Amino acid sequence: MTEDMILNFGHDPKVKGTDYKTGDGTCVRDYIDVTDLIDAHVTALEKAKPRNVGIFNTVKEFVEAGKKATGVNIKVDFLPGRPGYYAEVYSDSQRF
Q: What is the band of 52 on the pLDDT scale with cuts at 50, 70, 90? A: very low
* DSSP structural state of residue 58: E
Q: Identify which of 17, 7, 24 has the alpha carbon closest to the alpha carbon of residue 66.
A: 7
Going from N- to C-terminal start, the domains of the chain cover 3-89
Is the pLDDT at 53 greater than 70? The verdict is: no
- pLDDT of res. 23: 93
Query: Strand locations in the chain, DSSP E?
Result: 14-16, 28-29, 57-58, 77-79, 88-89
Q: pLDDT band at 1, cuts 50/70/90?
A: low
Residue-level pLDDT at 5:
65
Task: Say yes or no to pLDDT of 90 above 80.
Answer: no
Q: What pLDDT score does 21 carry?
A: 93
Per CATH, the number for 3-89 is 3.90.25.10
Mean pLDDT, residues 11-16: 79
pLDDT of residue 20: 92
